């Protein structure tokens, strides 16, 4: 059914405008751009959904209702659509600067922080016509397995509010899953869009580092952290990336992204691995992943295979600790009492590293990267679980063991996702089909750097043919 007819039908049969909240960002953009729906109506519907759902779930740190209404009015007054996201409500993770709108980084230290300028990714979203409804919750500075901080949270899982939504883009995942926004921004260091996407039954994209520039990043060649997006459908992720991608001279990574996006030819070759040969993964997750692989065999040729990831856990631990200590060491020295225990642990982990430790980790990282490259000589995609465990109670701050086996550090449960961050390959996350009594679970679909279009094409295929797609939560 065309978008315009769908909206006319929805609005005719629903007295409440909150039905608008169930439409995808691409559908909303078409309807608003064609005049079938006003941006103001879309914004009011999503603000009403936030007012209804967020007191229970705590997805938003800040809601900018008046700013969103002004932006919607500007869109509605424009003689033509201002961009591909014309009038569409979005959420921005509260690690990312928004001009004149509180940006706390999840920390008491910045509770009154009002940035003077937008981060580039936010500026590009606005130029594309997006209307920012507010800032979504995150652990302090993005470091934490549970999406909570001293300002807000915990952000509760919409499928079971007693459980975690995942760190650190849990606010964005919950906002999307419950229709508070159709599209939300996130960031991903070791799995921070992918884990919440898996826990909350939504899709996510972590693109090739540099695809979305970060011109104010202090370490210009650091590719561990990237911007990304969460949505309920692959098309929305592709639309969001299309308006935010493109080089910037102040981001050296963004000028060197190699585009190797050849279209798929014939039946895809799908390498699958439950653990990359090293990651701790729960037995029940392995079972769900095996079932997902059986379904994938209907659309591609399955090749059980994994790159050689020897030393990956130690490598990521070292590089991550060094980056965090460099970025936040001064805060630990001067404001320790105001930081959360998780942030303190993360900073202290890098305090004793030497230059030799760091360079040895980079050497191992290079070897692992080349092993990934070799794998893609015989496969089009690599598929793995998007989380090593299912969501756990909000009262439990860290994953310390899997299936009774203790983990050495609080970040080791992320090994199944941080290996992809380590090598910088783009990854699409999709929820798999599940029974009514099963918790949400997602898979990572990985492609070579620069191959996002190929990822989206394959994602659409399995979304449509296998039903690997979002299922709306039933909240009381």
Q: Residue 120: which of 279, 235, 226 has the closest Cα?
A: 226
Alpha-carbon distance 196 to 177, whole Å? 10
Q: Classify residue 406 by burial, with Cβ atoms within 10 Å: 0-12, 13-18, 19+.
A: exposed
What order of strands is seen across the sheet that includes strand 442-446? Answer: 60-63, 131-136, 89-93, 183-188, 226-231, 203-206, 427-431, 442-446, 381-385, 269-272, 301-304
Alpha-carbon distance 353 to 469, whole Å? 43
Alpha-carbon distance 11 to 227, whole Å? 35
Cβ atoms of 138 and 131 within 8 Å: the answer is no
Cβ atoms of 196 and 163 within 8 Å: the answer is no
Neighbour-count burial for 196-223, b at 16+ CB within 10 Å, e otherwise = bbbbbbbbbbbbbbbbbbbeebeeeebb
DSSP 104: -
Alpha-carbon distance 446 to 369, whole Å? 13
Give the DSSP H or E segment for 28.
Answer: helix 25-34
- DSSP letter string over 323-376? HHHHHHHHHHHHHGGGS-HHHHHHHHHTTT--HHHHHHHHHHHHHHHHHHHHHT
Alpha-carbon distance 10 to 455, whole Å? 32
| 415-423 and 312-335 helices, crossing angle to 10° | 90
Residue with tokens 């459980």: 163
Neighbour-count burial for 52-76, b at 16+ CB within 10 Å, e otherwise = ebbeebbbbbbbbeebbbebbeebb
Tokens encoding 434: 């599940």
Give catalytic residues, as residue numbers.
93, 168, 192
Asked, as a colleague might, if the bond just before 176 is cis with ω within 30 of 0, I would say: no
């Amino acid at each position: 059914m065309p978008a315009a007819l769908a909206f006319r039908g929805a609005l005719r049969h629903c007295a409440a405008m909150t039905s608008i909240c169930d439409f995808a960002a691409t559908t909303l953009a078409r309807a608003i751009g064609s005049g079938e729906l006003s941006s103001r109506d879309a914004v009011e519907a999503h603000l009403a959904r936030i007012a209804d759902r967020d007191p229970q779930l705590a997805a938003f740190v800040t809601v900018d209702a008046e700013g969103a209404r002004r932006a919607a009015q500007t869109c509605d007054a424009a003689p033509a659509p201002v961009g591909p996201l014309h009038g569409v409500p979005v959420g921005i993770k509260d690690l990312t600067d928004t001009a004149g709108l509180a940006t706390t980084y999840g920390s008491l230290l910045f509770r009154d922080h009002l940035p003077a300028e937008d981060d580039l990714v936010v500026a590009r979203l606005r130029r594309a016509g997006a209307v920012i409804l507010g800032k979504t919750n995150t652990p302090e500075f993005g470091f934490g397995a549970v999406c909570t901080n001293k300002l807000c949270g915990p952000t509760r899982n919409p499928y079971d509010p007693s459980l975690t939504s995942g760190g650190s883009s849990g606010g964005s995942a919950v906002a999307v899953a419950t229709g508070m926004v159709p599209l939300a921004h996130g960031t991903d260091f070791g799995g921070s869009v992918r884990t919440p996407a898996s826990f909350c039954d939504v899709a996510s994209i972590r693109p090739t580092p540099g695809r979305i520039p970060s011109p104010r990043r202090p370490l210009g060649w650091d590719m561990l952290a990237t911007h990304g997006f969460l949505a309920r459908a692959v098309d929305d992720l592709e639309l969001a990336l299309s308006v935010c991608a493109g080089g910037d001279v102040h981001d050296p990574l963004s000028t060197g992204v190699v585009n190797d996006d050849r279209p798929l030819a014939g039946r895809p070759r799908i390498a699958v691995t439950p653990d990359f040969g090293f990651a701790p993964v729960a037995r029940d997750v392995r079972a769900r992943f095996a079932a997902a692989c059986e379904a994938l065999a209907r659309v591609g040729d399955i090749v059980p295979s994994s790159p050689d990831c020897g030393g990956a856990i130690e490598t990521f631990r070292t590089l991550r600790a060094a980056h965090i200590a460099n970025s936040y060491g001064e805060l630990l020295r001067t404001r320790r009492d105001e930081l959360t225990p998780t942030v303190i642990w993360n900073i202290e982990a890098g305090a004793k590293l030497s230059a030799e430790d760091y360079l040895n980790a980079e050497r191992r990282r290079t070897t692992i990267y080349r092993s990934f490259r070799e794998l893609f000589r015989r496969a089009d995609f690599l598929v793995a679980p998007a989380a090593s465990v299912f969501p756990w109670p909000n009262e439990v701050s860290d994953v310390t063991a899997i299936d009774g086996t203790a983990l050495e550090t609080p970040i080791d449960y992320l090994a199944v996702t941080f290996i992809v961050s380590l090598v910088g390959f783009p990854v699409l996350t999709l929820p798999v089909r599940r029974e009514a009594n099963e918790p949400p679970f997602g898979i990572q679909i990985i492609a070579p750097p620069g191959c996002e279009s190929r990822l989206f094409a394959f994602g659409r295929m399995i979304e449509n043919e296998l039903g690997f797609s979002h299922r709306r939560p039933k909240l009381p």
